[in-house]
Amino acid sequence: MHPGWRLDVAVQTPAHSALGSLLSYASTVPMSPGTLVRLPLGRREVLGVVWACAERTTDDDTRELKAVAGALDALPPLSESWRDLVSFAARYYQRSLGEVALAALPPQLRELSSQQLARRLKRRAAAPQGEAALPPHPVPPEGAGLAQLGPGGAQADVALPARLDPPRGAGLAQPGPGGHVPAVEIEPDAALPVDLSAEQTAALARFEAGNGPFLLFGSTGSGKTEVYLRAVAALLARDDAAQALIMVPEINLTPQLEARVRDRFEARFGAGAVVSLHSGMTNPQRLASWLAAHAGQARIVLGTRMAVFASMPSLKLIVVDEEHDPSYKQQEGARYSARDLAVWRGQRECAKVILGSATPSLESWHHSRPAESDDPGGRYVRLSMPGRIGDGALPTVRGVDMSLQPRKTVLSGALLEAIGQRIARGEQSIVFLNRRGYAPVLACADCGWKSECPYCSAYRVFHKIDRTLRCHHCGFTERVPRACPACGNPDIAPVGRGTERLEEHLAELFEAVKRPDGSAVRIARIDADSTRKQGALAQRLAEVHSGEVDVLVGTQMIAKGHDFRRVTLVAAVNPDGALFSSDFRAPERLFSLLMQSAGRAGRDASYLATRGSTAEMWIQTHHGGHPLFQALRRHDYPAFARQQLDERRAAGMPPFAFQALVRADARTQEAAQEFLHAANTAAEALSHAAQVARYPAVPLAIQRVANVERAQMLVESASRIALQRFLADWQPLLHALRREPVGKGVIRWLIDVDPHAI
Q: Say what the pLDDT of residue 674 is.
A: 96
Q: Which uninterrupted H or E stretch holds 38? A: strand 36-41
Known binding positions: 444, 447, 453, 456, 471, 474, 484, 487
In eight-state DSSP terms, residue 296 is: T
505 and 491 in one domain? no
At 32, the amino acid letter reads S
Q: Is residue 149 part of a domain?
A: no
Q: Say what the pLDDT of residue 18 is.
A: 60
466 and 407 in one domain? no
Q: Say what the pLDDT of residue 474 is.
A: 92
Q: Say what the pLDDT of residue 58 is.
A: 64
323 and 263 in one domain? yes
What's this model's pTM, rounded to 2 decimal places?
A: 0.87
Report cis status (omega within 30 of 0) of the bond before 188.
no
290 and 414 in one domain? no
DSSP-derived secondary structure for 315-357: EEEEEEETTT-GGGB--SSS--BHHHHHHHHHHHTT-EEEEEE
Give the whole-angstrom CA distance, residue 334 versus residue 305. Answer: 12
Q: Which of 495, 513, 539 is the last residue of a domain?
A: 495
Q: Is residue 557 part of a domain?
A: yes
Q: Is residue 592 part of a domain?
A: yes
713 and 742 in one domain? yes
* Total Cβ atoms within 10 A of residue 3: 12
190 and 108 in one domain? no
Q: Which of 650, 679, 699 is the last residue of a domain?
A: 650
190 and 61 in one domain? no
Known binding positions for Zn(2+): 444, 447, 453, 456, 471, 474, 484, 487
- Asked if 697 and 718 count as a contact pair (C-beta separation under 8 A), the reply is no
Task: Give the CATH number, domain containing residue 283.
Answer: 3.40.50.300
Q: Say what the pLDDT of residue 344 is.
A: 98
Q: Is residue 148 part of a domain?
A: no
Q: Say what the pLDDT of residue 283 is.
A: 92
Q: Is residue 165 part of a domain?
A: no
Phi-psi region of 408 (alpha: psi -120 to 50; beta: other; left: phi over 0): left
Q: Is 469 helix (H, G, I), strand (E, B) or coil?
A: strand
Q: Is residue 461 part of a domain?
A: yes
* Total Cβ atoms within 10 A of residue 93: 23
- Asked if 562 and 541 count as a contact pair (C-beta separation under 8 A), the reply is yes
Residues of the domain holding 234:
177-389
Q: Which residues of the chain have pLDDT under 50?
A: 129-191
At 142, the amino acid letter reads E
225 and 90 in one domain? no
330 and 181 in one domain? yes
Give the whole-angstrom CA distance, residue 659 versus residue 753. Answer: 6
Q: Say what the pLDDT of residue 401 is.
A: 94
454 and 337 in one domain? no
410 and 428 in one domain? yes
Q: Say what the pLDDT of residue 163 is.
A: 36
Q: Is residue 139 part of a domain?
A: no
Please state the domain count of the chain: 5
Give the whole-angstrom CA distance, residue 439 versus residue 2. Answer: 72
Q: Say what the pLDDT of residue 168 is.
A: 34
Q: Say what the pLDDT of residue 579 is.
A: 85
Task: Give the CATH number, domain containing residue 746.
Answer: 3.30.70.600
Report cis status (omega within 30 of 0) of the bond before 182.
no
